[in-house]
A and B are shown apart, each in its own frame.
Chain A
Amino acid sequence: MSSPFEYAPAPESRSIVDIKPSYGLFINGEFVDGHGKAFKTISPSTEEVLSEVAEADEADVDAAVKAARRAYTRVWSKMPGRERAKYLYRIARIIQERGRELAVLESIDNGKPIKESRDVDVPTVAAHFFYYAGWADKLEYSGFGNGNPQPLGVAGQVIPWNFPLLMLAWKIAPALACGNTVVLKPAETTPLTALLFAEICQQADLPPGVVNIVTGAGETGRALVSHPDVNKVAFTGSTDVGRAIAKAVAGSAKKVTLELGGKAANIVFDDAPIDQAVEGIVNGIFFNQGHVCCAGSRLLVQESVADEVLERLKRRMSTLRVGDPLDKNTDIGAINSAEQLARIRELSDIGEAEGAGRWSPACDLPSNGFWFPPTLFTGVTQAHRIAREEIFGPVLSVLTFRTPSEAIEKANNTPYGLSAGVWTDKGSLILHMANQLRAGVVWANTFNKFDPTSPFGGYKESGYGREGGRHGLEAYLK
């Protein structure tokens, strides 16, 4: 495997980021101590302890919601849209200015490669704030709220660890644009960029209480979504937690949007642009270590080209570089946590036990930290667990089909329905497939492309409601 052209390591400097030994909660524009027990956040690529973060208990959450309510009634909801837009634009510009700092911190705390945090996450975060800043003074033209749309009030938002900063932007930008105030809880394994975002809110002179950030784990999230003075709950994460949240808010007046799991089909027809399809398959499942709810984790490939696609896919996977997330040449970083690694291992072992063929390219994994090699399973059928359950890791299940109708049947035969991909040179087939696939997003000849102007959201157990685009406003307006 050794090439004469071994790229020397090209690590991004950590010195641009100043990680404090401990962080408090961000309530009413200030950092305050939490009442709960502080917890540690570690770097998944080295297991090094990065910082101590306060845990918010019920009283802390209540204080945050009260601050948000005060800011909502006294300042934010009364402010004309064009004034709110100025704050959002300012935040977007600061995110751009501090982009490198945010990208480095995200990679340290999350384990994702700097290439992705720098080139995908942070630019898309800024784009979301810019995009929704543009909507803030045009809400009456949005088509929602009978021409005089009004904010809902205080939004309680709970986000996952796979895209800590991007999910924050997806939640906070539309909420603020519409005149709501927010209390946001980042995931317990990746709180640091949210806390840096809190500093950015201070830097932007955002009125106190408009954005509040409470850190903690499941209990903190539960306290937030069940708080009686929260008007809107927005959650991105696992289907199990989503179900619990739906139960918790049932019968209340709270509005809810849920973005949950997925088991997306990436469908490759025999007339597809094969080399680009292989890229799309790689991007679909190995982007962000497969920690993507819309990941193309089921490859459905037409039988006539299955061997060829697999051969090319394996060759391409052999060029993926796994390792230090801060190395600019790294394609695949660390698994976010020991728990997640254990789950990926468990499901992969089940795949093997059920008779699917397991393959990974030769790659040296670092000894510290949480690592899993890019993996594919061949000979998978709909009856295999790895074809049905979300693995949320760099594991691809390969299935085959013979006709478009078989592809549709198999693609739709899942409890989920978040995304799908279609690869063919035939435009009419793309449109036909897009109409038949029960998925919130259907990508054609591409995969995992995100843009603030394009709505995102799923069917069935993948959740309800849309985020992004004009549709994303609806969840924050009445």
Chain B
Amino acid sequence: MTSTPTPTATAPQADFSDITRSDATLRRFLHGLPGVDQVGAEARAAALGTRSIKTTAKDYAIDLAIRMVDLTTLEGQDTHGKVRALAAKAMHPDPADPSCPMTAAVCVYPDMVATAKEVLGTSGVNVAAVATAFPSGRAALDIKLADTQDAVEAGADEIDMVIDRGAFLSGRYKAVFDEIVAVREACGDAHLKVIFETGELQTYDNVRRASWLAMMAGGHFIKTSTGKVQPAATLPVTLVMLEAVRDFREATGQMIGVKPAGGIRTTKDAIKYLVMVNEVAGQDWLDPDWFRFGASTLLNDLLMQRTKMTTGRYSGPDYFTLD
């Protein structure tokens, strides 16, 4: 059973007004964060990737990963039928095995939210919608806000927004910050995931700065990628983001979620991410409320490995539904 992420109610909302006053104050703060050494960060990510996960730990990890999946379809060719099928799969990933957990959410374009919601009802699987002129984010603010409201009114529980990478890269941090604040406002009760498109931000220093910017602006989740730009999610990028949410909690008491998206296709990869969550951010983040996978093909590999764990045998792809 997946619940909607709840911001830690006990922690007082941190006050960043001095930092977020202007581009200059934001720049001073963001550029004052400890740098990220590329070689070191990649080496650490690679080292965590060599943890050997067997039997009981693997059992646990596979079910947890399934519960963390935001089952996603973000194609121009999406139809209502396709989204209905996807939503049905999110509720019953493995129809042959009722013990198989549900995914966290179904992630679709705003015009598909109502369709997904209709199928999912009160199942507990959330509907996430990408909004704000996804994936490029190149539209006027009122259009982005309208896009967001549209999705929320259609029943979206979660909004995945993209940041304005052009503004970020040209140092207009205040514009990015204000936009996130405005979208968060437009979200109402829906939870906001802020997508950085880390493949376009290029450096780990930028990833760390974007993480802090989004966290200070009130994002509930920080997310690596749209899935439309290569490279999408990578282990080192996720490492830097996990360090950021860990440090943010240390500083403010608030927990922020992390969602790598794009390119995570195998159980083996998913487990590497979980190991990293466990050892970098800590076990508190080993929960669908605080960690998600944005993925479409990952689920079937998880199901195949799950069947292997229970039956001892591999079954072919035909034993699992397409979507």
* Nearest A-chain residue to B40, judged by Cβ: A276
Given A5-B60, A8-B57, A319-B279, check contact A275 B41 (CB 8 Å): yes
Instruction: Render A87-124 as a binary contact track against B, CB cut-off 8 A, 1 for contact.
Output: 00000000000000000000000000001000100000
Whether A62 is near chain B, meaning CB under 8 Å from some CB there, is no
B290 to chain A, nearest CB (A): 13
**Using a CB-CB cutoff of 8 Å, which residues 55-107 of chain B contact chain A?**
55-58, 60-61, 64
**Using a CB-CB cutoff of 8 Å, which residues 26-74 of chain B contact chain A?**
34-37, 39-41, 43-44, 50-58, 60-61, 64
Q: Is A9's CB under 8 angstroms from B54's CB?
A: yes
Q: Is B283's CB under 8 angstroms from A10's CB?
A: no
Interfacial chain A residues near B54, Cβ < 8 Å: 7-10
Given A275-B243, A276-B36, A445-B39, check contact A7 B57 (CB 8 Å): yes
What is the bound-complex CA distance between A453 and B156, given in angstroms?
58
Given A273-B36, A274-B34, A319-B279, check contact A4 B60 (CB 8 Å): yes
Interfacial chain B residues near A280, Cβ < 8 Å: 40
Whether A222 is near chain B, meaning CB under 8 Å from some CB there, is no
* Nearest A-chain residue to B244, judged by Cβ: A275
Whether B286 is near chain A, meaning CB under 8 Å from some CB there, is yes
What is the bound-complex CA distance between A164 and B50, given in angstroms?
24
B189 to chain A, nearest CB (A): 29
Interfacial chain A residues near B274, Cβ < 8 Å: 5
Whether B278 is near chain A, meaning CB under 8 Å from some CB there, is yes
Given A4-B286, A5-B283, A7-B52, check contact A273 B35 (CB 8 Å): yes
Q: Is A445's CB under 8 angstroms from B61's CB?
A: no
Q: Is A3's CB under 8 angstroms from B44's CB?
A: no
* Nearest B-chain residue to A423, judged by Cβ: B37
Q: Is A10's CB under 8 angstroms from B52's CB?
A: yes
What is the bound-complex CA distance between A43 and B50, given in angstroms?
25
Instruction: Render A217-252 as a binary contact track against B, CB cut-off 8 A, 1 for contact.
Output: 000000000000000000000000000000000000
* Nearest B-chain residue to A328, judged by Cβ: B52
Given A275-B34, A328-B52, check contact A5 B243 (CB 8 Å): no
Interfacial chain A residues near B51, Cβ < 8 Å: 7, 328-329
What is the bound-complex CA distance between A291 and B134, given in angstroms?
53
Interfacial chain A residues near B279, Cβ < 8 Å: 319
Q: Is A8's CB under 8 angstroms from B55's CB?
A: yes
* Nearest B-chain residue to A5, judged by Cβ: B278
Interfacial chain A residues near B39, Cβ < 8 Å: 445-446
Whether A272 is near chain B, meaning CB under 8 Å from some CB there, is yes
Q: Is A279's CB under 8 angstroms from B61's CB?
A: no
**Using a CB-CB cutoff of 8 Å, which residues 1-36 of chain A contact chain B?**
3-10
Whether A52 is near chain B, meaning CB under 8 Å from some CB there, is no
Whether A425 is near chain B, meaning CB under 8 Å from some CB there, is yes
What is the bound-complex CA distance between A328 and B57, given in angstroms?
14
* Nearest B-chain residue to A3, judged by Cβ: B283
Q: Is B286's CB under 8 angstroms from A279's CB?
A: no
B133 to chain A, nearest CB (A): 34
What is the bound-complex CA distance between A6 and B64, given in angstroms?
13
Q: Is A329's CB under 8 angstroms from B52's CB?
A: yes
Interfacial chain B residues near A274, Cβ < 8 Å: 34
B12 to chain A, nearest CB (A): 22
Interfacial chain A residues near B286, Cβ < 8 Å: 3-5
Q: Is B44's CB under 8 angstroms from A276's CB?
A: yes
Instruction: Render B5-19 as a binary contact track against A, CB cut-off 8 A, 1 for contact.
Output: 000000000000000
Whether A451 is near chain B, meaning CB under 8 Å from some CB there, is no
A328 to chain B, nearest CB (A): 4
Given A4-B283, A8-B57, A276-B36, check contact A115 B44 (CB 8 Å): no
Whether A271 is near chain B, meaning CB under 8 Å from some CB there, is yes
- The one of A8, A9, A119, A279 in contact with B44, judged by C-beta atoms closer than 8 angstroms, is A279
Instruction: Render B253-278 as a binary contact track against A, CB cut-off 8 A, 1 for contact.
Output: 00000000000000000000011001
What is the bound-complex CA distance between A274 and B36, given in angstroms?
8
Interfacial chain B residues near A279, Cβ < 8 Å: 40, 43-44
* Nearest B-chain residue to A447, judged by Cβ: B40
What is the bound-complex CA distance between A432 and B204, given in angstroms?
26
What is the bound-complex CA distance between A279 and B43, given in angstroms?
10
A451 to chain B, nearest CB (A): 14
- The one of A5, A119, A275, A425 in contact with B57, judged by C-beta atoms closer than 8 angstroms, is A5
What is the bound-complex CA distance between A280 and B47, given in angstroms?
13
Interfacial chain B residues near A10, Cβ < 8 Å: 52-54
Q: Is B34's CB under 8 angstroms from A119's CB?
A: no
* Nearest B-chain residue to A272, judged by Cβ: B34
- The one of B41, B58, B283 in contact with A276, judged by C-beta atoms closer than 8 angstroms, is B41
Interfacial chain B residues near A119, Cβ < 8 Å: 50
Q: Is A445's CB under 8 angstroms from B52's CB?
A: no
B233 to chain A, nearest CB (A): 19
What is the bound-complex CA distance between A412 and B206, given in angstroms?
37
Q: Is A115's CB under 8 angstroms from B50's CB?
A: yes
What is the bound-complex CA distance between A10 and B50, given in angstroms?
12
What is the bound-complex CA distance between A301 and B283, given in angstroms?
29
* Nearest A-chain residue to B56, judged by Cβ: A8
Given A7-B57, A8-B55, check contact A445 B283 (CB 8 Å): no
What is the bound-complex CA distance between A315 and B34, given in angstroms?
17
- The one of A115, A275, A319, A446 in contact with B36, judged by C-beta atoms closer than 8 angstroms, is A275
**Using a CB-CB cutoff of 8 Å, which residues 270-315 of chain A contact chain B?**
271-276, 279-280
B206 to chain A, nearest CB (A): 14
Question: Mind listing 7 A-B residue pairs with CB under 8 Å?
Answer: A5-B61, A5-B64, A8-B54, A8-B56, A8-B57, A279-B44, A328-B50
A residues adjacent to B (C-beta < 8 A): 3-10, 115, 119, 271-276, 279-280, 319, 328-329, 425, 445-446
Closest 3 CB pairs of A and B: A276-B40, A10-B52, A273-B37
Apart from A6-B56, A275-B34, A275-B36, what 13 extra A-B contacts exist at CB < 8 Å?
A3-B286, A5-B57, A5-B61, A5-B278, A8-B53, A8-B57, A8-B58, A10-B53, A115-B50, A271-B34, A271-B35, A328-B51, A446-B40
